[in-house]
Amino acid sequence: MAQAHDIVVLVPMSPEQAAALVTQGHLPGPLPAVTANAALCETFDTEPGSEAAEFAAFQVACVMALAGGADHFVVSAQAGAAQQPGPAAHDGEVVLDGLPLRDAGAFFTHENPGAAEQASQAAHGLSPDEAWELPLVQSELAEHPMLWHDVSELARHIAVEDA
């Protein structure tokens, strides 16, 4: 049986939250996140523990990030903090009590946040389900996937974004 710290969560966050995570070493909650749990697997008709389930969770987190802003990140972490079901629990949404930097392993960014701006504006303020249905969001997900970075690059990436 998987322990809580074995569960990968994908945490959409603003550049300000990412900066706080780096400078303070911990981001307090509540933090919305996505995980490939049983509810997500049922929604997306995937097998628990499969690559398809992980990809579905990543896609939902990307949609949540887009709804927050074109410059938003998705941070991948081991869930060491307590979590509860989120508003879109059927999409794997959970709410974390906080996120220590030591639990983060990677982060994902838009290669060109300007290219994501239109989709981000369309998705702003919508639930993951509502945003998912937008053609602009689907196009962004398909044509401009977010890029993977090791978490050790986060401080430098934030400095580049601020420059």
User: Does residue 50 sit within a domain?
Assistant: yes
Report the candidate in 3, 4, 12 with the shortest Cα–Cα distance to residue 107: 12
Amino acid 2: pLDDT: 40
User: How far apart (Å, rounded) are the C-alpha atoms in residues 160 and 108?
Assistant: 15
User: Does residue 163 sit within a domain?
Assistant: no
Q: Helix 113-123 and helix 135-143: axis angle, to 10°?
A: 150
User: Does residue 49 sit within a domain?
Assistant: yes
Structural domain range at position 43: 4-158
Amino acid 161: pLDDT: 59
Number of domains in the chain: 1
Single-letter amino acid, residue 45? D
User: Does residue 29 sit within a domain?
Assistant: yes
User: Does residue 140 sit within a domain?
Assistant: yes
Q: What is the pLDDT of residues 44-92, one digit of tens each?
A: 999 998 999 999 999 999 999 999 887 888 999 987 656 787 888 888 9
User: Does residue 67 sit within a domain?
Assistant: yes
Mean of pLDDT over the chain: 87
DSSP 145-158: PPEEEEGGGHHHHH
Q: What is the pLDDT of residues 85-142, one digit of tens each?
A: 788 888 899 999 999 999 999 999 887 777 788 899 999 999 999 999 999 999 989 9
User: Does residue 65 sit within a domain?
Assistant: yes
User: Does residue 47 sit within a domain?
Assistant: yes
